[in-house]
Amino acid sequence: MLSLPPIILASNSPRRQQLMRDAGFTFSVQSKNVAEDFPADMPLQDVPVFLAEKKAAAFANEIQNEIVVSADTVVIIGNQILNKPVDKEEAKAMLNMLSGKMHEVITGVCVLSSQKKIVFSDRTDVYFKALTDNEIEYYIEKYQPFDKAGAYGAQEWMGMVGVEKIIGSYFNVMGLPIHKVYEVLKTW
């Protein structure tokens, strides 16, 4: 495996942590409260990289020989970003919006050390089948997807029965394009 300086994963996401562990990385988890706001005129596809950089920048004055890995994932349908739903009604509205359509999942990643910074993003197109009201209700009740952008997790029931196909990285949809993170960390 790679011989790397200490890695800080700047994310409380259990999915990102699992992907990093499964890829063989040893890391500590630290996150800071960073406002996830962005300029209103920013192209939606640029938002995840902007937010990932913002999350990593919160560590810039503290790191010495560590590497910070931060990420942000957005779900885009049409000209709208679907964030994490605040309640059951918003989750239902999001899943109805995604039903029978294609949407983009873009994850921005920032890998930062005291010597260098590499930022990148990965995009996956996700195609949903038409969902019934019963399927949406069942998923929300059983899985409580309130911590997931777009109100669903690809690794959960909705991903298994609702996603017809994806074009791009499945792991990106889970929240971290781990294949690209691995390649970037190899450069250290």
Which of 71, 82, 75 minimizes the C-alpha distance to 34? 71
pTM for this prediction: 0.93
Percentage of the chain exceeding pLDDT 90: 94
Strands (DSSP E) contained in the chain are 7-9, 27-29, 67-77, 80-82, 102-112, 117-128, 163-167
Q: Per-residue pLDDT averaged across 113-125, rounded?
A: 97
What is the set of active-site residues?
72
pLDDT of residue 1: 67
Q: What is the pLDDT of residues 41-82, one digit of tens each?
A: 999 999 999 999 999 999 999 999 999 999 999 999 999 999
Phi, psi dihedral angles at 87 (to 5 degrees): -155, 180
Q: What is the pLDDT of residues 11-47, one digit of tens each?
A: 999 999 999 999 999 999 999 999 989 999 999 999 9
Average pLDDT, the chain: 95
Phi, psi dihedral angles at 133 (to 5 degrees): -60, -40
Pairing of strands 67-77, 7-9: parallel
pLDDT band at 3 (very low <50, low <70, confident <90, very high): confident
Q: Per-residue pLDDT averaged across 161-172, rounded?
A: 97
Pairing of strands 7-9, 27-29: parallel
pLDDT of residue 28: 97
pLDDT band at 2 (very low <50, low <70, confident <90, very high): confident
